[in-house]
Each structure stands twice: as C-alpha cells, then as structure tokens.
Structure 1
Amino acid sequence: MFKRILALCFGLTVMNSAAVAGETLDNWRSDSTHIFDAKDVDIADVIWAARPWVIFADSPLDPIFSQQMALLRAGLDVAQDRDVMIIVDTDPSAKSNLRETLHPKGFNWVLIGKDGMVKLRKPFAWDMRELSRVIDKMPIRQQEMSKP
C-alpha cells in the first residue's frame, strides 16, 4: 500500500533492496532517484558511498510526510548531486532496524553522513535547498567539491 500511495500521490517509486549485502548500493547506483523502504536497507552497506536520508512517519497519509515528499520531488536533482539515498519508513509496526536505532516519534527525518553518523534530525518538512546547504558544509562534501 505504501508504494502505491507514493506512486499515486507523488509520482515517486519505491525500490525494495534485496536481502543480499551490497545489492542496496548497487540498486541505488543504478538509479539514485528511487526511494528505498527502511525495512530493506542496512546502512552498513552504504557507508562511504551515500548519505542516507531517512524519512519517518506513522502513516504514508501523514500530512507532514506528504509535504516532505512533495518538497523532495521538487528538488530531487539536489539529492542526486549530493549522493543522498532516500529511505522511508511509514510503518511503525514493521519495526525496521532504522526505526529501532533512531527512535523517531511521529514524523521525523534523519540525515546520516557518508561516515554513518547522524548529522541532522528534524521533526518537520524541509526544502531540498535547505538540506543541500547543510550537506555542502560537511567536510566530506567539501572534499568532494574541491576535486577536479
């Protein structure tokens, strides 16, 4: 149901990553615009390659979640340019590893750096331009931007 709601409301698709280690990263590299379901992602598989942005809600119908997904769709190129892997979890009963580790309450999103550390956490929707500013100040991103 979650995938259908995202597809219908936001024009976005959700990719299930395979349980095999490393396939999550391969799937993301093949199309970084896909949105991954949290229950299918192991953050350890993407360390040093992607910046996971985990968006939590208690339901895919949460109005703040809807707002965030609309903002995301409008600025998807920003996420792609900054190696952001988008992960969503709108099913608290599934008890994904990410939900168990990050302990969100209601709508919440968490930006994880390429080093695997939590960089930012917010309980409200954010424009992709604001997110890009935060990412662009990160030391690893600064190194990426200085490479020819």
Structure 2
Amino acid sequence: MKPILPFVIAGLLAAPLAAQDSADTASIPAPDSIVIEGNDVDLKQFKWEKRPLVVFADSPSDPQFIRQMELLTNELPALIERDVVILTDTDPEAQSALRKQLRPRGFMLALVVKDGTIYLRKPVPWDVREISRTIDKLPMREQEIEERRGLPD
C-alpha cells in the first residue's frame, strides 16, 4: 500500500495545475482552427464571411513558407479578430483551384477580401502587424470596427 501513496498524492497535487493549464489554453485558438489545407478549397465558400490569406509554396520545406507560417501562427488572435482564414497550398503538381485562380510562382502570399477581390500579393513573408494594418485600412473592416464600437454611420 505504501508504494501507491506517493502516486496518489502526486496525482491530487497535479490535478489543479492541469485544470489551470487547460483553462489557459482554452482561450488560445488552435492553429488548425483557422489554418486550412487549400487543395480542395473554393474561395467562393468564404465570400462575405472571411478574409482568406493564401500562402503558396512549391514545397512545405520552402524556408519562406516555414517563416510565413511561423509569423502567422504566432499571432492568431489578431487574425481571428479580422475574420482571416489561412489557406495553404504547397503542392504545385496538384493544380488546385486556388493555384489556377491565383497563379503563384514559387512562394506567394495573397490576401482576398470578403467580396472575393484579390487585394494583395506578396512574394516574400509578411508579419501579422503588416497584414493587420492592410486589413484595417479596408472600408469593410472600418465599418466592422465602427459597428463593434456601436457608433452610428
């Protein structure tokens, strides 16, 4: 009976810490909640709902792709606040609908606004601060901010 007692005490002491850790991580969105593999995605499904941020590369090992995804996943709350969904496509051989529509050459970052317009294309990684500033200047985003504040038109 004595050998079990330390394990029981350790389990009782660890339970509150585990509960606190799960409560802390519950407020942080999982990266896969807004990051979607873009091979079978149609941009039309996001129209008027989300702002697709499409990240293309010729391989998931592309250093620019890896850097871009690090920048994005480190700042997910700012992107979620702006209704961004991240679509990735690292397989040029698959010739996805996204590739046919946006025609990337190697690494490319593209921002599509809620009305379906391709607003921005970048051949290098961009950090979330730059992306957020660009989105915040959009008329629809300004309207969203005003509505959240409760200001009249």
Give the superposition deviation at 1:115: 0.5
Give the superposition deviation at 1:114: 0.2
TM-score, length basis structure 1? 0.77
Structure 1 residue 127 corresponds to structure 2 residue 127: yes
**Against the structure 1 CA distance between its residues 145 and 12, is the aligned structure 2 distance closer, same or farther, given a 3 Å change threshold?**
closer
Deviations for 1:19-44, whole angstroms, at most 9, x for unmatched residues? Answer: xxxxxxxxxxxxxx331111221111
| Whole-angstrom CA distance in 1 between matches of 2:127 and 2:101 | 25
Structure having the higher Rg: 2
For 1:82-101, list aligned pairs within 5 A: 82-101=82-101
Give the superposition deviation at 1:12: 4.2
| Whole-angstrom CA distance in 1 between matches of 2:34 and 2:51 | 14
For 1:1-148, list aligned pairs within 5 A: 12-13=31-32, 33-147=33-147, 148=150
Partner of 1:8: none
Q: Extract structure 1 runs of 4+ deviating beyond 4 A.
A: none
Aligned pairs, number: 119
Larger CA deviation: 39-48 vs 126-135: 39-48
| Whole-angstrom CA distance in 2 between matches of 1:109 and 1:84 | 13
**Do the aligned residues in 1 keep the contact of 2:51 with 2:114 (CA within 8 Å)?**
yes
